[in-house]
Amino acid sequence: MNNYTPAPDLLNQRTILVTGASQGLGRAAAIHYAKHGATVILLGRSVKQLEQVYDQILAVGGPQPAIFPMDLAAAGDADYAAMAQAIGYQIGHLDGILHCAAAFETLAPQSLESVEGWLKLFKVNAAAPAAINRVCAEYLEARTQSSVILIGETHGHMPTAYWGGFAVSKAALEAYFKVQADEWSDTPMRINLLIPGPVNSPQRARTHPGEAKNSLPQLDALLPRLLYLMGPDSAEVRGQIFEGGD
């Protein structure tokens, strides 16, 4: 996938929801999807940052995107249902979802973590993607070759000390992925999970503040993989976990 060269019109006539679209990988992917023809729905907490991404998409010649502000840590079933209804009313269809939104507090020993902190991590990192997929399934199933991509995390795949609730919530996301992939195995919908590994991102800057940023792969290195998994060239790829340079 690292050498994948997408067609310029790879995502023409497709509508893709990107969570965590205000920064980091979500922002980069949203702009890149739009450059390849997708109408992107930008979901995130900060309206100001989403508006900046909106302007960047127009600047690169992408289709006019939509903005949907939402705080996943505070959202409930009614909020997700309202989001799905808005997509159906304003756009009418959905071809893919890229789940980049993530909650992270700090590296800490288990003795310093709290129930409230764990619940927030689980709500954003595991429950929110499941809820969004659930309410959007009717739109995804109505399209051909619809694709959902979850962004996993190294410490959810192989947990280690001090990653606490974040690692456990990302491990829960991976378990959800396996359940959902099995349930969707005979449907038009497909779901895959990408574990980026070490990459220069806002979260990496928080967990490794002294690390030289130029020593890491940049976010752009992940974009060919995200295009491939979202587009029709990977139509037969489902239920797979991709790590780092896979």
CATH value at residue 180: 3.40.50.720
CA neighbor of 150 nearest in space, from 173, 117, 175: 173
In this prediction, residues 193-199 reach a mean pLDDT of: 76
219 lies in some domain: yes
Quote the CA–CA distance of 1 and 225 in Å, as a whole number: 5
Mind listing the pLDDT tens digit for each residue in 47-65?
999 999 999 999 999 999 9
In this prediction, residues 117-126 reach a mean pLDDT of: 94
Range list of H helices, the chain: 24-35, 47-59, 77-90, 115-122, 128-141, 154-157, 164-183, 202-207, 223-230
Give me the domain span that covers residue 185.
15-243
131 lies in some domain: yes
DSSP-assigned states of every residue in 138-166 = HHHHTSTT-EEEEE--HHHHS--TT-HHH
In this prediction, residues 80-102 reach a mean pLDDT of: 94
Number of domains observed in the structure of the chain: 1
Confidence of residue 80 (pLDDT cuts 50, 70, 90): very high
- Backbone torsions φ then ψ of 10, nearest 5 degrees: -50, -40
The pLDDT assigned to 111 comes to: 81
The pLDDT assigned to 206 comes to: 54
4 lies in some domain: no
Amino acid letter for position 215: S
195 lies in some domain: yes
6 lies in some domain: no
The pLDDT assigned to 245 comes to: 47
Q: Provide the percentage of residues in the chain whose pLDDT is more than 90.
A: 70
Residue with tokens 């304003």: 90
Confidence of residue 214 (pLDDT cuts 50, 70, 90): low
3 lies in some domain: no
Confidence of residue 199 (pLDDT cuts 50, 70, 90): low
Q: Answer positive or negative: Cα dihedral of 45, 50, 53, 58.
A: positive
Bridge-based pairing of strands 39-44 and 190-195 is: unpaired
51 lies in some domain: yes
Provide CB contacts within 8 A for 31, sequence distance 6+: 53, 56, 57, 60, 62
The mean pLDDT value of the chain amounts to 88
pTM for the whole thing?
0.91
